[in-house]
C-alpha cells in the first residue's frame, strides 16, 4: 500500500503565492503584508487574503509589477 501524499490546503497555497509575487517586487513582503495600509481602509493587506476582497490585493500587486502602481 502506498503512503498517503500530504495535501497542502488551497488557502496556504494562495497566501504563499501572494508572498512570492510580492517577493519579486520588494525585499520584505511579510512586513508589508502585516502593515496597515490606507488603500485597504487601514487593514493590513494580509487581511484581504481568502476574502472576497483578495482580488484588490492581487490587482495592486500586478499594477506595481507592471509599473502602474503609484
Of 66 and 12, more confident? 66
- Which of the 8 DSSP states describes residue 67? T
pLDDT value, residue 52: 92
Our separate counts of H helices and E strands in the chain read 3, 0
pLDDT tens digit string along 18-38? 888 899 899 999 999 999 999
Average pLDDT over residues 35-43: 96
pLDDT value, residue 43: 97
3 pLDDT more than 90: no
Report the sign of the C-alpha dihedral through residues 38, 52, 65, 16, in that order: positive
Amino acid at each position: 500500500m502506498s503512503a498517503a501524499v500530504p495535501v497542502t490546503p488551497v488557502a496556504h497555497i494562495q497566501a504563499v503565492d501572494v508572498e512570492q509575487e510580492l517577493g519579486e517586487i520588494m525585499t520584505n513582503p511579510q512586513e508589508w503584508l502585516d502593515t496597515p495600509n490606507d488603500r485597504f481602509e487601514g487593514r493590513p493587506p494580509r487581511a484581504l487574503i481568502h476574502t472576497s476582497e483578495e482580488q484588490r490585493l492581487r490587482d495592486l500587486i500586478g499594477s506595481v509589477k507592471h509599473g502602474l502602481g503609484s
